Structure 1
């Protein structure tokens, strides 16, 4: 069976780059969509098209030229701001979906996030709104909801290397996750192409191994760094007080309102697990969270400590 052509969105982010590499390694003909005048560039050897997501005619013309193509979107808003979330996570994707339907695209594979299970934030609501449009579109679709990325658990590596304590919210065991590497997630996304068992399904996915609490992540990092564990506990109520203050100021200042939303995002990840949510039992379920791949967080930390990976690399590409 011949491989379908691929249209890839978000190819300049870490997940997008990993997905592009996996697609090319498997022999797919890939066209990357990039917004005009984007600051992020792909290598010259990579086939790419500069286009505006609001230009429906241009999207339809491009998609029509690639009959039977599969769209894979790793695109997401970078900031989490309400305006960005609805412009990119919802409206940008919706424009692509409308053009895909008109052009007869074969399949739409969407990278989402497991946190949309309990939507308390604007970017989660925007993602869910597009998921609803996609599932009702009549296209064949796959929605992939990864648990946590290695990068999202790497923010304290430099602190630990500098001899500083690892920061924990509460007792460090309020949440847990089964993180998945960029490479393994890319393999999973590409594995959705024309896969009957992943078609028209919402697909939560984590990495291999047991669920890790923040404290367990810190202990693992200290072990890899060869340093004795040191922790500093930050009470959640302190975050609540900050959010309340910023929200009050946000009534008169858009800038403060934006900061309040960022604080709410931080609190969400400090208090909600990135695992499958069991609605009936009212709890997160590590055993019900599917596992995939080979890469471990310990291996990732080892590469960071050795300087083989840049912890400051960007995450999803906006477009």
Structure 2
């Protein structure tokens, strides 16, 4: 039950042009589409960015500002609460949207960004009067084995425990970008590499634009208030084998698929885990190995705890863009805008 103060501040009764939305992680893969979608819907949008943004910090201030016509672009540091307060929340806000995510999934980086920095945006947004928080999380937190998953879950708990600020926790399945790591190698003649026959893990991939639309819906849609929202793209779940076959269709070639046993990953990971106990600098390297193995083994679908299995039918679908269309486009036009950067596993 919302308090009288929160009810008086209910932005949902106002038109978008009177609703101020602050977006963190605005220059990231999903964040930039969220900013543009919110601007297109008429919201007052503040896009919070670092002084140098994008993969490798290649974008300077002027480039970031040019990327977001119609939005107020503010520059600061999400790890510094005062920076957030002074620049993002120098005036009252209604909604906070966080698309923050650690760049690598490393242990320290995960807690610094997926938890601590995100917590900073929540606390400062609350002080600025924000009534709703939209969080971009991940569907894989259902079975938390990795540090970034644990960090995300810890922050999700903060939102769920807040009795006054409402929330929408969005847990998407795989992004198109995350399935594009082998496009260039296959284009050059290499086989598509998969693990254990390519049937262990499946997903319902969603495009950045469709996900941005879904997140924007969370601002006004009452049914998405105080909900955890798993979301995938249109169509059936796709296994790694099916994704590889789809990529080769886009390339106009017969499929070349190479299956590697999961055990191939276990040995190196075990060695790195052992070494990291005496050489702490190897902890992240071991974690990266665990991340790769996790995505090779675990489906990005809703987990049915009672049945002990992933359930494609229970994973909601949204949007219009398909992975097949995406592969056709990047084969034709190249990977501009889909670079993996520090997130690359292949």
| Band the TM-score falls in, shorter-chain normalisation | over 0.9
Q: 2:7 aligns to what?
A: none
The structural deviation recorded for 1:116 is 0.2
CA drift at 1:26: 1.5
Q: Which of these residues, 87, 95, 107, is aligned with residue 70 of structure 1? A: 95
Contact persistence 1:178–1:210 (CA under 8 A): yes
Distance 2:29 2:310 in 1: 27
Cα gap change, 1:167 to 1:195, in 2 (>3 Å): same
RMSD (CA atoms): 1.9
Helix, strand or coil for the counterpart of 1:227? Answer: coil
The DSSP-based 3-state class of the residue aligned with 2:333 is: coil
Cα 1:310–1:54 change in 2 (3 A) is: closer
1:113 paired to 2:135: no
Q: Which residue of 2 aligns with 1:43?
A: 65
**Structure 2 segments unaligned to the other structure (5+ residues):** 1-13
1:127 and 2:149 aligned: no
Q: Structure 1 length normalisation: TM-score?
A: 0.94
* Partner of residue 269, structure 2: 243
- Give the one of 206, 209, 213 matched to 2:235: 209
More helix by share: 2
Match of 2:47 among 18, 32, 45: 32
3, 16, 22: which one pairs with 2:37?
22
Contact 1:5 1:69 in 2 (8 A): yes
In structure 2, C-alpha distance between the alignment counterparts of 1:165 and 1:64, rounded to whole Å: 50
Given the alignment, which residue of 176, 189, 203 partners 1:150?
176
Alpha-carbon separation, structure 2, partners of 1:143 and 1:106: 14
- Say which SS state the counterpart of residue 192 (structure 1) adopts: helix
> Per-residue deviation at 1:65?
4.4
Query: 2:34·2:215 contact (CA, 8 Å) conserved in 1?
Result: yes
Q: Equivalences for 1:1-319 in 2 at 5 Å?
A: 1-3=14-16, 4-36=19-51, 38=53, 39=57, 40-41=59-60, 42-44=64-66, 45=69, 46-61=71-86, 65-137=90-162, 138-310=164-336, 312-314=338-340
TM-aligned CA deviation for residue 314 of structure 1: 4.5
Structure 1: how far apart are the matches of 2:342 and 2:304?
27
Superposed displacement of residue 64, structure 1: 5.4
Bigger relative contact order, structure 1 or 2, given CA contacts below 8 A and separation 6+?
A: 1
- How many residues matched? 317
Is the 2:107–2:283 Cα contact (8 Å) retained in structure 1?
no
